Chains A and B, each alone.
Chain A
Amino acid sequence: DIVMTQSPDSLAVSLGEGATIYCKSSQSVLYTSNNKNYLAWYQQKPGQPPKLLIYWASIRASGVPDRFSGSGSGTDFTLTISSLQAEDVALYYCQQYYSSPYTFGQGTKLEIK
């Protein structure tokens, strides 16, 4: 199984400041035949299901604000929020869909400083 490890486990950032969350996979999730990274990011608020933010490591899902961006390739990925808004307080998860079982990181809790 591919193990996904996020860092940090929690993060406190001031409103308007940037936030970066890291995700590392135990093996590459880059499929060389199409040069795509099989990596997604989700946001989860209390009492709600996860919401897709990013797929193919860097493509924003429909309706996701452009302050959210994803980058990285192979085994190392980042989710960046350029200017933190109050509504961004949530848990964030990365997920690999390169191979079954489709595994998630342990989550990063983002709070306001």
Chain B
Amino acid sequence: QVQLVQSGAEVKKPGASVKVSCKTSGYTFTDYFIHWVRQAPGQGLEWMGWINPNNGGTSYAQKFQGRVTMTRDTSISTAYMELNRLTFDDTAVYYCARPDCSSTSCRNWFDPWGQGTLVTVSS
């Protein structure tokens, strides 16, 4: 079955960077984009951007432009999200999620999701 398994929780200091991984299985990694969505404690869902594992192309929400980098390693079917210059407001659970894609396009509802990675920014 399709699975997205994320790396473990992280604690970082303000100004540091964090890199979260999302290891996929059960499907051809390069056939589906990977999106990243975050959820601050007790808050709603915030879309961050996507990566096309086939060619490494990316698109980021304007809020995160210049601070986020999404990459992938096709040899191990894993996507990564790196967020720089962390602030306390970046404390959140970060999710990777897969849209519904055909050979020509994607419909950007998300199923399945990774289990989430808690990133805590604390001094």
B47, A102: Cβ atoms under 8 Å? yes
A77 at the interface (CB under 8 A from B): no
Chain A interface residue count, CB cutoff 8 Å, equals 20
Given A49-B95, A49-B114, A100-B59, is A105 in contact with B44 using a C-beta cutoff of 8 Å? Answer: yes
Given A49-B116, A101-B62, is A107 in contact with B109 using a C-beta cutoff of 8 Å? Answer: no
A68 at the interface (CB under 8 A from B): no
Which residues from 8 to 48 on chain A have a C-beta closer than 8 Å to any C-beta of chain B? 38, 40, 42
User: Would you give the 0/1 interface string for B61-86, flagging 1 where the beta carbon is closer than 8 Å to chain A?
Assistant: 11000000000000000000000000
Determine the distance from Cα of A95 to Cα of B116 in the docked complex, in whole angstroms: 19
A11 to chain B, nearest CB (A): 16
Determine the distance from Cα of A51 to Cα of B61 in the docked complex, in whole angstroms: 22
B46, A104: Cβ atoms under 8 Å? yes
A8 to chain B, nearest CB (A): 15
Residues in chain B near residue A80, CB distance under 8 A: none
A97, B107: Cβ atoms under 8 Å? yes
Q: Using a Cβ cutoff of 8 Å, how many contacts connect chains A and B?
A: 53
Determine the distance from Cα of A27 to Cα of B112 in the docked complex, in whole angstroms: 27
Determine the distance from Cα of A12 to Cα of B24 in the docked complex, in whole angstroms: 38
Determine the distance from Cα of A49 to Cα of B35 in the docked complex, in whole angstroms: 14
Determine the distance from Cα of A95 to Cα of B37 in the docked complex, in whole angstroms: 12
B32 at the interface (CB under 8 A from A): no
Residues in chain A near residue B95, CB distance under 8 A: 49-50
A106 at the interface (CB under 8 A from B): yes
B113 at the interface (CB under 8 A from A): yes
Determine the distance from Cα of A50 to Cα of B115 in the docked complex, in whole angstroms: 9
B108, A104: Cβ atoms under 8 Å? no
A52 at the interface (CB under 8 A from B): yes
Contact of B44 among A38, A49, A106 (CB under 8 A): A106
B44, A104: Cβ atoms under 8 Å? yes
8 extra interface residue pairs, beta carbon distance < 8 Å, beyond A49-B97, A100-B59, A100-B61:
A42-B110, A49-B116, A51-B111, A52-B112, A95-B109, A101-B47, A104-B44, A105-B44
